[in-house]
Structure 1
Amino acid sequence: MAAKPIIKVAAICGSLRKASYNAGLLRSVVELSESIDGISVEYLDISSLPMLNTDLEVDGKYPPVVEAFRQKILTSDCYLFASPENNYSVTAPLKNALDWASRPPNVWADKAAAVISAGGGFGGGRSQYHLRQIGVFLDLHFINKPEFVLNAFQPPAKFDNDGNLIDPQAKERLKAVLLSLMAFTLRLQQGN
């Protein structure tokens, strides 16, 4: 019997804050993935990426930290973004990461993606909408369902003081997103 392929997920958080709720979502996803056969989730830290500046591209080469990030994106099968909302949009660190990896050649193209978010009011939903718009140009293929937004400030508490997700229902919803991303990635890889 052939081994089930491993789907490699690059998990990227748009927040750099240590106790970020969105980073907490991704920590939960990494933990949840350990109980799912055929998937591997790697959290990619974008905090060391310099702000996009094409003067940093020398002789067609990117700074080493940027090239390492681009290679992680290139070798991943799909992406899971945790996108907090700033001014109805994605955060500057996330946009910066998207831009660096879209420099020629665009290493995001033709892969599956999903987006999750936690925040106030709409739970980051407007950032998700804007990220999907950006994804059109990057040739990303976002799953449509299930959607995951979480109002982090509505009782009962969803996170502990360190930003770790403690809500069991939210964890189940995250697992559903991860399984859907996995299935969609397999369909794309098989050309269906």
Structure 2
Amino acid sequence: MEAMAAAKPVIKIAALCGSLRKGSYNRGLLRTALELSRESISGIQMEYIDILPLPMLNTDLEVDGKYPPVIEAFRQKILEADSILFASPEYNYSVTAPLKNAIDWASRPPNVWADKAAAIISAGGGFGGGRSQYHLRQIGIYLDLHFINKPEFFLSAFQPPAKFDGDGNLIDPASKQKIKEVLLALQAFTLRLQDYIFSVLF
């Protein structure tokens, strides 16, 4: 059994946060996910991809089929990833402008989101960012992103007891365990999707 586990392929996960705020709780969720991927889950290589440097979408910046270097670098990171983990705060019942901007840049021809597995985690008030998750899933249909259905992770961040410390780090053990379950489900689904695509193509 140990030999079989050691042979499990390593998948690359690109982690994106829809909030640009340093103390963002959603960014705190991603820090927990990165920590879990390093310390307690084998077969995952996760990288946080910063969307702050991306300019607002403007097709005038596309010249002779080329994008500005910062956009090219971002698109390459998404292309190289096997799957995507979104931390998606909710603004006005939807995804944030920075996240939508990043999504749109990577969807420009050729669409580098296509045929990748994805998962969403979110923290916020009330519904815990749930409406943004449902909107993001809808956007993913056109992008050919394939989201895991379960487990879902919505964290109501402002109800006691405290879920985060003063620096925005997740301190709630139950929530950490749920994020681990999301990562394991994303890992398993990514491998199944890759096997399916390979069988169809070859």
Shorter-chain TM-score range: over 0.9
Q: Give structure 1 regions of 4+ aligned residues with deviation exceeding 3 angstroms.
A: none
Alignment of 1:61-100 (within 5 A): 61-100=66-105
Is 1:135 the counterpart of 2:154? The answer is no
SS of 1:37's partner is coil
Cα-Cα RMSD: 1.0
Q: In the alignment, which residue of structure 2 is the partner of 1:51?
A: 56
Q: In the alignment, which residue of structure 1 is the partner of 2:167?
A: 162
Q: In the alignment, which residue of structure 2 is the partner of 1:126?
A: 131
User: Which runs of 5 or more residues in structure 1 are unaligned?
Assistant: none
TM-score after normalising by structure 2: 0.93
Is 1:148 the counterpart of 2:153? The answer is yes
Deviation at 1:4, TM superposition (A): 2.3
Q: Whole-Å Cα distance in 2 between the matches of residues 177 and 36 of structure 1? A: 11
Is 1:184 the counterpart of 2:166? The answer is no
Cα distance per residue 1:100-155 (max 9 Å; x no partner): 00000000001100000000000000000000000000000000000000000000
SS of 1:81's partner is strand
Deviation at 1:156, TM superposition (A): 0.3
TM-score after normalising by structure 1: 0.98
Cα distance per residue 1:10-63 (max 9 Å; x no partner): 000000000000000000000001121110110000000000000010111001
* Aligned-partner residue type, residue 143 of structure 1: I
* Aligned-partner residue type, residue 13 of structure 1: C
SS of 1:12's partner is strand
Larger relative helix fraction = 2
Is 1:3 the counterpart of 2:19? The answer is no
Q: In the alignment, which residue of structure 1 is the partner of 2:200?
A: none
Q: Whole-Å Cα distance in 1 between the matches of residues 68 and 18 of structure 2? A: 21
Q: Whole-Å Cα distance in 2 between the matches of residues 19 and 129 of structure 1? A: 24
Q: Whole-Å Cα distance in 1 between the matches of residues 86 and 72 of structure 2? A: 20
Q: In the alignment, which residue of structure 2 is the partner of 1:23?
A: 27
User: Which runs of 5 or more residues in structure 2 are unaligned?
Assistant: 198-202
Identity percentage over the alignment?
79
